[in-house]
Each structure stands twice: as C-alpha cells, then as structure tokens.
Amino acid sequence: MGTIHRVGVEEIAKHFVELQDPRSAVNLKHPLKSVVVIAVMAVLAGADGPTAIARWAKFKAEFLVAVLDLPNGVPCKDVFRNVLVALNPSVFQKCFVNWVQSLRMKAAEALDIEQPILAVDGKTLRRSHDHNKGLGALHSVSVWASELGLSLGQVACAEKSNEITAIPELLRLVDIKGAIITIDAMGTQKAIAEQIIDQKADYVLALKGNQETLHQAVIDHIDKHSKNDFADAKARRYITKETGHGREEIRGYMQMPVPKDLEQLELWKGLKSIGMATLVCNRNGKETIETRYYISSLEVGVKRFAHAIRSHWGIENGCHWSLDIIYREDQSRIRDEHMRENFAWLNRLTLSLLKQHPGKDSTIMKRRACGWDENLLLDILTGTTT
C-alpha cells in the first residue's frame, strides 16, 4: 500500500479514538477503532450485516492488516455483531460528526454553495420488525444535504407519527446555521419553525391538513389574488419545463410576502412569505395536476424558493431510492434495536462517501468496484483521488 493510503486510513480511524468501548475488558483483542473502520469499508464494498462484514474482512485480511492496527488479525463475526449491538446509536453517530462536517465543507466549497438546502424526511425499514420481541419496524428521520449528496444525521423514532418529536432532536444534532431547512407537512409545527430560526437557519415548510387553519388561510389569500392575476400583490412567478421518459412536466412556482392579516401569523416565528408549487404532468396523453402550498422564513425570491422545493425531493431520489435499490435496505432483516439503527447510519454514511467520489461510474457500480479494487475503496474512504 502507498504511504498516502496508510496515513489516510489512520486519519479516518482517529475519529473513533474517543468512542467508549462497550465490550468487557477480557474481550479486547481488536481495537474498537479498527473494528469500526472495517465495518465502514465492508459496507462500502457491499456488506449488509455482521456476517457479511466478517466474510469480507477474512477475504481482505492481508490488506486490512497492512492499513489498520490489527495485532491479532481480523475480527470474527461475533466481534462485529457484539460491537454493533452494544454501541448506543446516538453515541455511535456522534463520533462521525467531524468526519461528516469535513465532507460537507469540502463539497460546499467545491460547488460554491453559500446557503445549502437541508431536507428533513422520514423512512421506514419495512422488514425490520420483530413481533416476538414487540419490536416495530424501524422508522428514522434524517437530514440530507441535497446539493451535496450527504447524509448529515439521523434519529430513530417508534413510528411515523413520532417524527414531530424526532425532528427537533435531529436538528440539534446537525449544524444548520445558514442553511434552508425543508420539511414535509408533518414537520410543519410552530415549535420546529421557531427552533430553525433560533438556530440561525431558514425554513420552507409544506402545508396540509395537520395545520388546517393556516393551510386554508394561505389557499384563500392566494386564490383571492389569482382572480386578477396577482395585479394587486407583490407576487413573483417562475416556470420550468422538462421532457423525457415519455412525459412532459411543467412546474409553476409562485411566492409572495406573507399578508399582515394572515390568521395565526404571530404564532409562526420568522414567517415572511407564502407560496405554492404546481406540477402539470402529461404522460401518454393523460394530464395530472398537483398543487402544494408552503410557508417560508425567506424573503421573496422565487427562484431560490423553487430551488428549495425541488431540492427537497433529493432526499427521496438521491438518498431513499439509493438505499432501497443499491443497498436493498427495505429488505433488511436486522432486528436488533441498536444494530439496525447503527447499520442504517453506516448505509447513509457510505452512500454519502460514494456520492462524493468524482468518478463517472454510477453509485451502484462504484459500490461494486469497492469490493474489487482496494485502491478505489481507499480513495472513496479517505476522499482522495488517484
């Protein structure tokens, strides 16, 4: 191995030096930081559980001993299983904070992004339940930096309805200062809007029936001004057209200052504008129209507003779709409470690492290649290029 790779892997291992070892003192043959780095490497290369991690490590023993501190060779399956079961998920995730933050800074600088869009959304692992143990399917809420292709954090919750309590915890875990936070309607809560403003960020929040009074007030105000084509309002509009895959999509965005007499205005901290997004989709001669309404702490700037709304769907397309198709996460049968949360984070972290690599191959091909090419694996792990 080249020296640059050895140094790079050791730099990665330093992120886990302060991670408290949950194992008993009589079972410490393998340094915890090396166990964690092997797990990250193996998941990058396609592993989907502790058995697969151990099998990969056994095949790559010579390579791993050369780049990591492994005085007793590579660990067995039980070591990986015990560590992933014993580590508290919130503590496990916190040890990645500096690593993820460095990735975020590099990506934002490379793309010259001053105000990133951070999308907050939930995802359920449908097969992760265990009725015998009274364990429901894992539902977690995560933050995805859409333009950067980075997962910045996740918090597990008992079920989808608990997102309301999980989102504030998640926002406290992530440095959101200066960002635009986008959340679906379930997360449109007064306390969450206030927290975002208090953490020096902005929000674009979707409206639905869970905020019925505000939702209807926004609809009524926009409908009133639409009758004369917004001649009496300081509204701004923006339209995009896209064609491909047998369909045509026309997206229309409208944003306007929040009216001073809007019902409940005083309850929403930082609220400065309201808006709507309309999607007209024509596929095989069949037209569908969908309209959504939003509140925002942003001043009127309709292109930025439109960009935030479109970027929110990056968490579905860039993150959730990749986890289900590339990682087959929805098929995961890991049913230990801690291990499934820790593995869900490893999936998101490694997906982020794959998306940071500048190679032209698809994400799925890069992941496959990590299992074949040790140099590529190290490049992606350490953020270097050769």
| 125 pLDDT higher than 80 | no
Of the given ranges (25-29, 65-69, 213-217, 322-326), which has the lowest mean pLDDT? Answer: 25-29
Within-domain flag for 15? yes
Query: What does the pLDDT read at residue 10?
Result: 76
Of the given ranges (71-80, 98-107, 132-141), which has the lowest mean pLDDT? Answer: 132-141
Q: Please check whether residues 358 and 296 belong to one and the same domain.
A: no
Within-domain flag for 7? yes
Within-domain flag for 73? yes
| Contact by Cβ (8 Å): 128, 340 | yes
Q: Please check whether residues 371 and 269 belong to one and the same domain.
A: no
Q: Please check whether residues 82 and 105 belong to one and the same domain.
A: no
Within-domain flag for 329? no
Q: Please check whether residues 80 and 112 belong to one and the same domain.
A: no
Query: What does the pLDDT read at residue 124?
Result: 74
**Residue that wins the pLDDT comparison between 18 and 192:** 192
Q: Please check whether residues 180 and 220 belong to one and the same domain.
A: yes
Task: Out of 21-35, 242-256, 293-307, 314-328, give the one with best mean pLDDT.
Answer: 293-307
Within-domain flag for 300? yes
Rounded CA gap, 157 and 165, in Å?
8
| 376 pLDDT higher than 60 | yes
Rounded CA gap, 123 and 345, in Å?
12
Task: Out of 60-64, 113-117, 140-144, 263-267, give the one with best mean pLDDT.
Answer: 60-64
Tokens 């091909």 identify what position? 365
Q: Please check whether residues 152 and 288 belong to one and the same domain.
A: yes
Within-domain flag for 78? yes
Q: Mean pLDDT throughout 91-114?
A: 86
Q: Please check whether residues 233 and 369 belong to one and the same domain.
A: no
Of 290, 321, 352, the position where a domain reaches its end is 321
Tokens 């927290």 identify what position? 195
**Residue that wins the pLDDT comparison between 332 and 216:** 216
| 6 pLDDT higher than 90 | no
**pLDDT cut 70: percent of the chain above it:** 92
Q: Mean pLDDT throughout 358-381?
A: 93
| 245 pLDDT higher than 80 | no
| 1 pLDDT higher than 50 | no
Rounded CA gap, 284 and 30, in Å?
59
Rounded CA gap, 113 and 124, in Å?
30
Rounded CA gap, 358 and 119, in Å?
23
pLDDT band at 3 (very low <50, low <70, confident <90, very high): very low
Within-domain flag for 229? yes
Q: Please check whether residues 194 and 258 belong to one and the same domain.
A: yes
Within-domain flag for 327? no
Q: Please check whether residues 374 and 305 belong to one and the same domain.
A: no
Query: What does the pLDDT read at residue 126?
Result: 61
Q: Mean pLDDT throughout 39-56?
A: 96
**pLDDT cut 90: percent of the chain above it:** 57
Q: Mean pLDDT throughout 219-236?
A: 91
Q: Please check whether residues 305 and 354 belong to one and the same domain.
A: no
Q: Please check whether residues 343 and 280 belong to one and the same domain.
A: no
Domain count, the chain: 2
Query: What does the pLDDT read at residue 128?
Result: 56
Which amino acid would we find at residue 117? I
* Domain, as residue range, for 208: 98-321
Q: Please check whether residues 41 and 141 belong to one and the same domain.
A: no
Q: What is the CATH number of the domain that holds 176?
A: 3.90.350
Closest to 352 measured CA to CA, from 140, 125, 43: 43
